[in-house]
């Protein structure tokens, strides 16, 4: 399981964009977003750095939570 802190995530559109970015790396990933805390929890077998890079490419800074 991977947890990312995504401080720029502020709305439902952001949640969708971040989720889409994660799914572009691992389409079977289970993505749970807690918008108030800005934490994205991802159950995946993909490399964490690839997930983080995809989220960053989508326009959202992130770091391990």
C-alpha dist (Å) from residue 19 to 26, 30, 63: 10, 9, 16
Residue 5 has a pLDDT of: 98
**Cα–Cα distance for residue pair 12/14, rounded to 1 Å:** 5
In this prediction, residue 24 carries a pLDDT of 98
pLDDT at 33: 97
5-62: pLDDT as tens digits: 999 999 999 999 999 999 999 999 999 999 999 999 999 999 999 999 999 999 999 9
Identify which of 2, 16, 10, 59 has the alpha carbon closest to the alpha carbon of residue 38: 10
List the domains of the chain with CATH numbers: 2-64 (3.30.70.100)
Residue 63 pLDDT: 96
């Amino acid at each position: 399981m991977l947890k990312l802190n995504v401080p720029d995530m502020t709305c439902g559109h952001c949640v969708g964009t971040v989720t889409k970015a994660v799914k572009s790396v691992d389409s079977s990933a289970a993505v749970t977003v807690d918008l108030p805390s800005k934490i994205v929890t991802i159950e995946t077998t993909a490399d964490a750095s690839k997930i983080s890079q995809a989220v960053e490419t989508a326009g959202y800074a992130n770091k391990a939570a």
